[in-house]
Amino acid sequence: MNHSTEVRTIMMDKEISTIAVMTSGGDSPGMNAALRAVVRGANRYNLTIWGIYRGYQGLIEDKFVELDSEKVSNIVQRGGTILKSARSKDFRTEGGRAQAALNLKNKGIDAMVVIGGDGTFKGANLLSKEYGIRVIGIPATIDNDIIGTDETIGYDTALNTAIEAIDKIRDTADAHERMFLVEVMGRDAGFIALETGIAVGAELSLLPEELTSISDIKAQLKNMLKEQKRSSLVVVAEGDETGGALKLAEKIKDDFTKYDLRVCILGHVQRGGSPSARDRVLASRLGASAIKVLMEGHNEVMVGVVNNSLKITPLRVAVAKKKGLDFGLIELAKMLR
């Protein structure tokens, strides 16, 4: 057994008394609710718990704060994350991860709970394999593209934010006979665009997962306009191959001169705001469950909810591929155009 393997084995066998928690990657509504549940779950086991500011970058820079029940009171309703978040190029280097592991060791931390998406999980898995830090992942991303859970924390809130905004856009589109191209978030995943499109009655939803040529888009819109609709609304995922709503507008504007063609990019408004009841409950369940499975001896896993039951998924599986869209919903969207 070499030295690094020996150190890792000792750390993995050590009884857990002190843990750390952080939020990382893109923020999502409900992260604070998950953080609150992690802290209060840790209190039940009499664990010391440290919060890490600004994700992996803060871990490298030794930005720790000790947490207790009082410090996470009155945050369940707040969007964003009180621990802040950041992306870290330094953590991608061996030196950065070595410094992160040293900081954890100096604080006597035996395990980490990480709240974020696939990038966050990849970092946690690497830290565990290289330095023996036990890790549990909680899926929090508005993209909803993590396998092993029906929904990720923040998705429901982002979806409702987009729907509320587009309902208002539909009103003005109808009043002025306008065609609106509304861009929603989803660089690699079309969950928000697909379900928003169904919920608002969009004439068309463009998704990263489905290749749609400009000629097909024009043809579909022209067929819909023959039905004498007073307005037309297209939901575009930011990662669609057309290049997003602005580029799509440039490509089709000359074919739809009858309509006042407008573009609306919802952008980061979808990340903010008070989390929905659904996200608060999901985040609370997953936060408490993360502590429970950690104390049961699990490591390098993600907690999720599938069919309303807790599901444990190895992190290596959770990051291996993106969750696919529901084919039935895709067909439903097409039928309801």
Round to whole Å and give the CA distance between 129 and 322: 22
Decide if 131 is inside a domain: yes
Round to whole Å and give the CA distance between 262 and 286: 41
Spatial CA neighbour of 281 closest among 32, 33, 28? 33
- Domain hosting 284: range is 3-154+275-318
The pLDDT value given to residue 110? 95
Same domain flag for 117 and 13: yes
Same domain flag for 132 and 14: yes
Quick check: 13 pLDDT over 60?
no
> Which domain CATH number covers 290?
3.40.50.450
Same domain flag for 160 and 87: no
Decide if 327 is inside a domain: no
Same domain flag for 80 and 201: no
Round to whole Å and give the CA distance between 64 and 46: 19
* CB within 8 Å of 84: residues ≥ 6 apart: 23, 53, 54, 55, 58
**How many angstroms separate the first and last alpha carbons of the chain?**
63
Same domain flag for 218 and 240: yes
- Work out the pLDDT band at 243, boundaries 50, 70, 90: confident
The pLDDT value given to residue 33? 98
pLDDT tens column, 156-168: 999 999 999 999 9
Quick check: 230 pLDDT over 80?
no
Same domain flag for 285 and 265: no
Active site residue 188: no
The pLDDT value given to residue 242? 83
Decide if 326 is inside a domain: no
Same domain flag for 39 and 186: no
Decide if 337 is inside a domain: no
Beta-strand relationship, 18-23 and 178-184? unpaired
Same domain flag for 72 and 17: yes
- Work out the pLDDT band at 222, boundaries 50, 70, 90: confident
- Look up residue 308 and give its two tokens: 């309303």
Domain boundary among 271, 297, 326: 271
Decide if 171 is inside a domain: yes
C-alpha of 289 from chain center: 18
Decide if 57 is inside a domain: yes
The overall longest dimension of the chain from CA atoms, in Å, is 75
The pLDDT value given to residue 174? 76
Amino acid letter, residue 315:
L
Give mean pLDDT, residues 105-131. 96
Neighbours of 292 (CB within 10 A): 16
> Which domain CATH number covers 230?
3.40.50.460
Round to whole Å and give the CA distance between 252 and 276: 36
Decide if 302 is inside a domain: yes
Burial of 87: CB neighbours in 10 Å, binned 0-12, 13-18, 19+: middle
The side-by-side arrangement of strands in the sheet containing 178-184 is 204-206, 232-237, 178-184, 260-265
CA distances from 101 to 1, 61, 136, 257 (A): 20, 11, 16, 60
The pLDDT value given to residue 231? 65
pLDDT tens column, 30-43: 999 999 999 999 99
The pLDDT value given to residue 9? 43
Residue owning tokens 């291996």: 320
Which sign, positive or negative, has the C-alpha torsion 188, 275, 111, 98? positive
User: Between 1 and 112, where is the model more confident?
Assistant: 112
Same domain flag for 136 and 218: no
Could you give the angle at the alpha carbon of 155 between the alpha carbons of 64 and 330, nearest 5°? 150
- pLDDT, averaged across the chain: 92
DSSP 75: -
Same domain flag for 207 and 287: no
* CB within 8 Å of 257: residues ≥ 6 apart: none
Quick check: 4 pLDDT over 60?
no
The pLDDT value given to residue 3? 40
Domain boundary among 215, 238, 271: 271
Decide if 225 is inside a domain: yes
Domain boundary among 238, 271, 304: 271
Q: HSE, CB side, 13 Å, CA atoms: give it for residue 2.
A: 4
User: Between 178 and 283, where is the model more confident?
Assistant: 283
**Number of structural domains, the chain?**
2
The pLDDT value given to residue 19? 98
- Work out the pLDDT band at 226, boundaries 50, 70, 90: confident
pLDDT tens column, 76-94: 999 999 999 988 999 999 9
CB 51 within 8 A of CB 22: yes
Same domain flag for 50 and 107: yes
Give mean pLDDT, residues 105-122. 96
Give mean pLDDT, residues 62-68. 97
Q: pTM for the complete prediction?
A: 0.92
Give mean pLDDT, residues 99-126. 96
Amino acid letter, residue 284:
S
Same domain flag for 21 and 105: yes
Options 27, 110, 118, 143, the catalytic residue: 143
User: Between 239 and 33, where is the model more confident?
Assistant: 33
